[in-house]
Amino acid sequence: MSNFHAPNGVTNILVVGIGGQGVMTATEILAEAAISLGHDVKKTEVAGMAQRGGVVSSHLRFGPKVLSPQIAPGEADLIVGFEAAEALRWCHTLRPGGLVLMNTARLVPPVVSGGLYDYPADPVAEIRARGIAVHAFDAMAIALELGDMRLGNSVMLGAMADHLPFPADVLLASILSRFGTRKPEMVEVNRRAFEAGRQADAGVKQETATA
């Protein structure tokens, strides 16, 4: 993508979602890809009691030398939203000219279902209204089509693959090596999920360009 042009050469990626969605795992896979290229890496979460369905934001910074592990507001190069409202919650941390890549699936917490709060009517439109470039697609639907909700993680990673300052193959290798050592039977299905995510993103890009 776009220009990763911070003067210190550090790339800032913010991955957001909900506890249990695999946000922290996705960031870990990205981190391993960056390490394999010799980068210094720091990764931090503001997870709180995330195991219980709370908000998770995972910061990944990599480059020649990384100091603070946190991405300062307005300095994220790329925001990856695993859930629609969470992408909206964090979109203000994007730098001018950055990109929000998001799953349009909506995960509704009990406080919304119970009528205490409203879910935003159209999170994608609200983010765009801020003048932010958005690539949005239903990653959950793609994962279900491939047969397992849990593939959403690899779908999202695939969607990121062409927006990183290194080749998509490096990221794919990082995913496959993780599954290859733990669950060899998962390699092929994750490769498919990765490619499906990558294609979904390419499709969105084309639509955005012709719109």
Q: Which residues bind another protein (CB under 8 A)?
A: 18-21, 24, 28, 31-32, 35-36, 38, 40-55, 66-70, 72-74, 85-86, 88-92, 96, 105-120, 126-127, 130, 140, 148-150, 181
Q: How far is CA 196 from CA 89, 141, 158, 189, in A?
A: 26, 11, 7, 10
Pick the closer one to another protein by CB: 26 or 140. Answer: 140
Pick the closer one to another protein by CB: 8 or 206. Answer: 8
- Nearest 5°: phi and psi at 175? -65, -50
Distance, CA of 53 to CA of 18 (rounded, Å): 6
Report the nearest approach of another protein to the CB of residue 206 (Å). 26
Pick the closer one to another protein by CB: 53 or 205. Answer: 53
Report the nearest approach of another protein to the CB of residue 204 (Å). 20
Report the nearest approach of another protein to the CB of residue 63 (Å). 12
Beta-sheet pairing, 55-63 with 40-46: antiparallel
Report the nearest approach of another protein to the CB of residue 121 (Å). 12
Pick the closer one to another protein by CB: 173 or 202. Answer: 173
Q: Are 54 and 19 in contact (CB under 8 A)?
A: yes
Pick the closer one to another protein by CB: 62 or 162. Answer: 62
Q: Are 139 and 159 in contact (CB under 8 A)?
A: yes
Which residues face 57 on adjacent strands?
16, 46
Report the nearest approach of another protein to the CB of residue 110 (Å). 6
Q: How far is CA 186 from CA 18, 145, 190, 196, in A?
A: 23, 16, 6, 15
